[in-house]
Structure 1
Amino acid sequence: MPHSLPALIVVDVQRAFDEWEAAGERRNNPDAVAHIAELLKAFRASDAPIFHIRHEGTKPTSSFRPESSGYAVKDEAREQASEPVIVKRVNSAFIGTDLESRLRASNIGTLVICGATTNHCVETTTRMAGNLGFDARLVRDATWTFDRIGPDGDAHSAEAIHAMTLSDLNGEFARIVTTNDVIASLAALRQ
């Protein structure tokens, strides 16, 4: 019997992204971390499961190396003692971790996914969640990404990348939702 409450999966809300911004990288969705904090508050109030994902960089130049300042979690998304932190070394939170076995052991069928970045670790985790048979819900206003240069030298805005990623995932791998949708759904489950 599936768990009646969804699990919140908080992907890579780490200080490295603040450092990227301070160095001049431009991102979209400036309210994403505030929305993640709202989701954490709602899930905690509902006693719903929360899993924190941390990226541990393995390349010498990675902003996410454990000894670097960028590895630390942002204050707004800090875990509580009862909330597991799962460390990954690749884009997907399911590869090289025990996330799937923890979810299956708790009979959790629905995953609410948020964090950073939309088109990297959030997308990869969401795709795998869908492929593994979970009812994945990606929270569009609780994730963000950065401007990028494509292989042909074309500039792509963070907004366009974010929108395309959501379009790619919608219906095939996940349902795209908002923070308000999730909070309303949790409130309805508690009644």
Structure 2
Amino acid sequence: MKDEANIRGGFDGTLVPGNRPALLVIDFQRGFTEAAVSPLASDCSSAIAATNRLIAAMRGLGPVIFTIVGYSANMADIGCWKQKCGALTTLERGTAACELDPRLDYAAQTDLILHKTQASAFFGTPLANILASSGCDMLVVAGATTSGCVRASVVDAMQYGFPPFVAHDCVADRSEAQHASNLIDMASKYGEVVSSEAMLKTLADIGAAQSVN
């Protein structure tokens, strides 16, 4: 999936999976998954189903973290986003648009939900501190949208030193063209893009190693 021009330019390395993963599920909330709730939504059904398989595999290996993007009723915290995309005003905290998609296997007893107002899951949240304090050395990424909050979070994960691994069938976008081009961009420069099946095998290997140690 890496771009040949970027390979020729020196972006030819590969990130190595760590020993303590975390799973970041970005903005699989009803405002992005249900067309009746918000015009921002797209069909995320298959991506959510694949993400649930990752969630099951992550249990006991490391943190499972969900994000929800939303704004106050008066939109005082939306910043410049309102000028660029007025539909973001549908993401009002406390409404259906800011609820996790009910198809997700979220476990309130163990999982964490982070609330954010910007694209990156790291911006204005304690995510980096949570990953560091948990000893995480790799970040598995799922969610929406591929070209927006997923990509922004992957770039920041790389910058914060948490190698990101994007499961390409666990992310979704309104635009197929942007979905494809951003997967290529992330694979070339900012992380590893793999199938959920490949990541499930990696997680199984990590679990086996943890049980030995």
Q: 1:43 aligns with which of 58, 76, 80?
A: 58
Superposed, which structure 2 residues align to 1:178-189 within 5 Å? 178-189=195-206
Corresponding residue number in structure 1 for 2:10 = none
Superposed, which structure 2 residues align to 1:1-191 within 5 Å? 4-20=19-35, 27=42, 30-44=45-59, 46-58=60-72, 59=75, 62-77=89-104, 78-146=106-174, 158-191=175-208
AA matched with 1:40: I
1:30 Cα deviation from its structure 2 partner: 4.3
Could you give the per-residue CA deviations for residues 63-117 of structure 1, whole angstroms, max 9, x where no partner exists? 2211221111011223431111111111111111100011111221100010011
CA distance in 2, matches of 1:53, 1:26: 16
SS in 2 for 1:62: helix
CA distance in 1, matches of 2:116, 2:64: 16
Could you give the per-residue CA deviations for residues 22-58 of structure 1, whole angstroms, max 9, x where no partner exists? 77778466411101111111111x4322111111235
SS in 2 for 1:140: strand
AA matched with 1:161: Q
With normalisation by structure 1, the TM-score equals 0.84
AA matched with 2:194: V
SS in 2 for 1:13: coil
Identical residues among aligned pairs (%):
25
Name whichever structure is richer in helix by fraction.
Answer: 2
- Mark the runs of 5 or more structure 2 residues left unpaired by the alignment: 1-17, 77-87, 209-213
CA distance in 2, matches of 1:111, 1:24: 29
Bigger Cα Rg: 2
SS in 1 for 2:151: helix
SS in 2 for 1:165: helix
CA contact (8 A) 2:64 2:112 kept: yes
What's the RMSD between the two structures over aligned residues? 2.3
With normalisation by structure 2, the TM-score equals 0.76
Aligned residues: 178
CA distance in 1, matches of 2:45, 2:183: 17
SS in 2 for 1:190: helix
SS in 2 for 1:101: helix
CA contact (8 A) 2:138 2:163 kept: yes
